[in-house]
Amino acid sequence: MSELLRLVLLIVLAGVGATGFIAACAWFMAEERRLKRAFDRVLGAPPDAMLIAHGRGRAAAFSFAAGRIATAWNGGAWCLVYGLDELLGAELALDGEIAARVMRGEPRRALDRVGGMVGEARLRLLFDDPQHPDFELVLWPSEGRSAAAPSRAAEAISEANRWLARIEAVLRRTGVAVVRPQPAGLAAQPRQKPARPHPLETQDLFEDESEETEDELPI
């Protein structure tokens, strides 16, 4: 009887251990955490904001400390990194029509509707890159089952609208001073303008040269 009880306890403990291991693996491999780890790696700093197309393995993230924005596919297995100055703008499309838009050098087209029946919501990021000029996130319908996934179209649209505001702020910050991240191993060399002489200094210079010329002329 004691051996049977011992066997039952071992089976129960093994089941509890296996359940805990599976739960830990599921927690570690959750879509949001995988994307967060990928962004930490490629940005070189924790992202200040992250937008996920839940259930699709796609996301985008900012890091103002690094001066970069990154896009990710396949749960973070593939990433592209851009400088913030390479971000041209973004468009929010609802059921195939542009509902809101923010672009560098243009006035913002504000979102005029949030509620109502929306079958699909997509946010498209635009970059100054001929090879990868855009990146699209399908925010609704959401295929994710996590608590962070939007349960209604209005939630996804509101989050996209907040990202349009963030992008507008980034465009304002990078509109004057353009700072591109330097390749690893290369020190940034600041570009210096040649000093332009003051008009008075230029006049004195010519006067000095003329005096020397007059002194050298034969009498």
User: Looking at the predicted structure, is the pLDDT value of residue 65 above 50?
Assistant: yes
CA-only gyration radius of the chain, Å = 29
pLDDT value of residue 21: 57
- Asked if residue 194 belongs to a domain, the reply is no
Residue indicated by tokens 């468009």: 91
pTM of the model: 0.68
Q: Which of 92, 85, 98, 101 is nearest to 159 (CA)?
A: 92
Q: Which of 122, 120, 113 is nearest to 153 (CA)?
A: 120
- Asked if residue 91 belongs to a domain, the reply is yes
Total structural domains in the chain?
Answer: 1
Range scoring the smallest mean pLDDT among 13-17, 119-123, 157-161, 184-188? 184-188
Residue indicated by tokens 């923010």: 102
Spatial distance between the Cα atoms of 57 and 62, rounded to a whole number of angstroms: 17
pLDDT tens digits, 185-219: 333 333 333 333 333 333 443 344 444 444 444 44
pLDDT value of residue 179: 38
166 or 208, greater pLDDT: 166
- Asked if residue 156 belongs to a domain, the reply is yes
Task: Among 129-138, 144-153, 165-174, name the most confident range.
Answer: 129-138
The predicted model gives 27-52 an average pLDDT of: 87
Instruction: Provide the pLDDT confidence category of residue 130 given band limits of 50, 70 and 90.
Output: very high
With b meaning 16 or more CB within 10 Å and e meaning fewer, what string describes 197-219?
A: eeeeeeeeeeeeeeeeeeeeeee
Distances (CA, A) of 123 to 17, 31, 70, 92, 156: 42, 19, 15, 5, 10
Helix H or strand E segment including 76: none
Spatial distance between the Cα atoms of 159 and 143, rounded to a whole number of angstroms: 16
- Asked if residue 75 belongs to a domain, the reply is yes
The two three-digit tokens of residue 188, written as one number:
């940034």
Instruction: Provide the pLDDT confidence category of residue 22 given band limits of 50, 70 and 90.
Output: low
Mean of the per-residue pLDDT values for the chain? 78
Residue-range definition of the domain harbouring residue 25:
13-173
- Asked if residue 161 belongs to a domain, the reply is yes
53 or 201, greater pLDDT: 53
- Asked if residue 20 belongs to a domain, the reply is yes
- Asked if residue 213 belongs to a domain, the reply is no
pLDDT value of residue 199: 39
The predicted model gives 129-155 an average pLDDT of: 90
Please give the single-letter amino acid code of residue 207: E
Long-range Cβ contact pairs of 187-196 (< 8 A, separation 24 or more)? none
- Asked if residue 72 belongs to a domain, the reply is yes
pLDDT tens digits, 94-123: 999 999 999 999 999 999 876 668 899 999
Spatial distance between the Cα atoms of 123 and 39, rounded to a whole number of angstroms: 19
pLDDT value of residue 121: 95
Strand order in the sheet with 58-63: 49-53, 58-63, 68-73, 78-83
